[in-house]
Amino acid sequence: MTQTSSSSGKWLKIAFGASLAANLFLVGLVGGQVFGGGDEAVKRAKATRGYSLYPRVMMEALPEDRHEDIRAFYADARKGMGQKWRGINVIRREIDAALRAEPFDAEVFRAAQSREVEGRNTLRAQNNDKIATFLATLTHEERTAIADLALSRLEEQTRYWRERRQKREAKGQ
């Protein structure tokens, strides 16, 4: 009799654990729907910020038959970038070390920050050159479609921040 009650207790614990896990899953699912922003918040999170010529914008602006060309260009443009970003991360660790140093040397900190900014600017300039080379392969109409979408995104972002500032200022008054 002791054997039977201990094995049924074991199964009750397993059933209770499974029921608890299922309930927590459902509560999380419902809670995420209720408390996780609406469709607008999801759309805003996925949207490119400001004026951008990144692949997502190009692919949205151009017909599907051009998407493979865009993917191929960006796959090629990204080659070797990992090594360059690792170099910038080394500089960022130098910034961290300078920040933590005792005594703090502001000049060492500023120099490391300057090297990091220069490194990022170099990468940005290289990326801009690659984008310009790719854009030169497009037709005037394709470039115009990309520019129109990029400008509309910039205007949307500007409008968003303006409205947000106005709401904040209205609350403060």
142 and 65 fall within a common domain: yes
Residue-wise pLDDT tens digits, 145-164: 999 999 998 898 888 889 98
- Range of the structural domain that residue 75 is part of: 49-172
92 and 145 fall within a common domain: yes
Q: Domain count of the chain?
A: 2
111 and 158 fall within a common domain: yes
92 part of a folded domain? yes
Residue pLDDT tens, the chain, 173 long: 555 566 777 888 888 888 878 788 777 777 767 666 556 655 555 555 667 788 888 888 999 999 999 999 988 888 888 888 889 999 999 999 999 999 999 999 999 999 999 999 998 898 889 999 999 999 999 999 999 999 998 898 888 889 988 998 888 76
- Whether this prediction's pTM lies above 0.75 is answered by no
54 and 28 fall within a common domain: no
HEC secondary structure over the chain? CHHHHHHHHHHHHHHHHHHHHHHHHHHHHHHHHHHCCCHHHHHHHHCCCCCCCCHHHHHHHCCHHHHHHHHHHHHHHHCCHHHHHHHHHHHHHHHHHHHHCCCCCHHHHHHHHHHHHHHHHHHHHHHHHHHHHHHCCCCHHHHHHHHHHHHHHHHHHHHHHHHHHHHHHHHHC
134 and 57 fall within a common domain: yes
Residue-wise pLDDT tens digits, 128-144: 899 999 999 999 999 99
